[in-house]
Structure 1
Amino acid sequence: MITEAEQKVYDILDSLEIKYDRYEHAAVYTIEEANKLDIHIPGQLCKNLFIRNRKGDTHYLVVLDETKQVGLKSLAKQIGSSSLSFASEERLFKYLGLKPGSVSPFGIINDNESEVIVLIDRDITNAAVVAFHPNINTVTIGISYLDFEKFIKWKKNKLFYVDID
């Protein structure tokens, strides 16, 4: 059964003429759990992290290769920010309308003021297909990387490319 939050993603993708492939699976809360699923999802699986600066007045959604770990100190230096930390569950819901385990770039649909800055690991820009949760952790969808950028630009959130080792 498709939830309202998930349908909202599909409606927007359809309106932007973005094709996607949908894969249902058991609920997963981490990339490690996703990798244990007995399902083949083509494309680059991505890890998505919701973080904030020290003051808590700037929020970032970091999209990176599933196998990478992000160093918050080096990322802060790279983007010219004060120290970074993971944002609280309350902030995640306030800005992206999401709960832990379902963090996704599609959460910016709920960012009415386009306040969240999207940081994309430059390495995933080479992927033909990228895969994300459609704001629910029991489904993963794959879209072309170019269509992913089209979606971000449509929403008008600031977008920067970063290098994550």
Structure 2
Amino acid sequence: MTENKPRTRQDLLAFLDGLGIAHTTKDHAPVFTVAESVALRDEIPGGHTKNLFVKDKKDRYFLLTVEENAVVDLKQVHTLIGASGRVSFGKPEKLMEYLGVIPGAVTALGAINDTGNDVTFVLDADLMRDDVINCHPLSNDATTSIASADLIRFMEATGHKPLVLKVTS
């Protein structure tokens, strides 16, 4: 695989603009956990996300994007997403290689960096009922708000067909 430099927030926002996708981005102090980002809720409406980067026994990678307070049963989720056996968390090196982000900045918008289609993106059905989804724009010092339908359009434009499944309890 050739080493590609990950796309930046500016690249991402330009890509969204090129697709005619409306988005707003709000800068804030870096947040590494859902707990740290709770303070932003009043300022940023819509569904806020938690992202789980996992792999199965065959080293296939998945990004599960769910509502921030949702619970994912990691012992059972493989049966829902088509993984081989139980999943475990992917390593930070793979996160950077495939999605171009560091832990704490994981985002469905990382699909823009997955040029080899190495990751299966799973969007929780409950989250997708929100009109607006909030994701990091490849860094954890901002939040980008995008319509849920446009998130799917964006993913398809990056060559991904996200699975919209109920993966939370």
TM-score interval w.r.t. the shorter chain?
over 0.9
Moved runs in structure 1, 4+ residues, more than 4 A? none
Residue 36 (structure 1) shift: 2.9
Q: Distance in 1 between matches of 2:113 and 2:93?
A: 14
Residue 39 (structure 1) shift: 5.4
Q: 1:38 to 1:154 in 2, by over 3 A?
A: closer
Q: Distance in 1 between matches of 2:63 and 2:17?
A: 23
Matched, 1:98 2:91: no
Residue 27 (structure 1) shift: 0.4
Query: 2:112 corresponds to which residue?
Result: 109
Query: 1:10 corresponds to which residue?
Result: 13
Q: Distance in 1 between matches of 2:47 and 2:40?
A: 15
Query: 2:3 corresponds to which residue?
Result: none
Question: Does the 8 Å contact 1:116/1:158 carry over to 2?
Answer: no
Q: Distance in 1 between matches of 2:15 and 2:64?
A: 21
Q: 1:127 to 1:38 in 2, by over 3 A?
A: closer
Query: 1:161 corresponds to which residue?
Result: 164
User: How do 1:15-94 residues align onto structure 2 when only pairs under 5 Å count?
Assistant: 15-37=18-40, 40-56=43-59, 58-81=60-83, 82-94=85-97
CA RMSD in angstroms, aligned pairs only:
1.4
Gap regions ≥5 residues in structure 2: 1-6
Query: 1:126 corresponds to which residue?
Result: 129
When the two structures are superposed, what TM-score results if normalisation uses the length of structure 2? 0.90
Q: Distance in 2 between matches of 1:39 and 1:78?
A: 33
Residue 55 (structure 1) shift: 3.0
Structure (1 or 2) with the greater helix fraction: 1
Give the counterpart letter for 1:132 in structure 2: C
Q: Distance in 1 between matches of 2:152 and 2:161?
A: 11
Q: Distance in 2 between matches of 1:94 and 1:158?
A: 20
Q: Distance in 2 between matches of 1:25 and 1:85?
A: 30
Question: Does the 8 Å contact 1:115/1:157 carry over to 2?
Answer: no
Give SS of 2:145's match. Answer: strand
Give the counterpart letter for 1:127 in structure 2: D
Gap regions ≥5 residues in structure 1: none
Give SS of 1:36's match. Answer: helix
Residue deviations 1:32-59, cap 9 Å, x none? Answer: 1000348510111111111110232x10
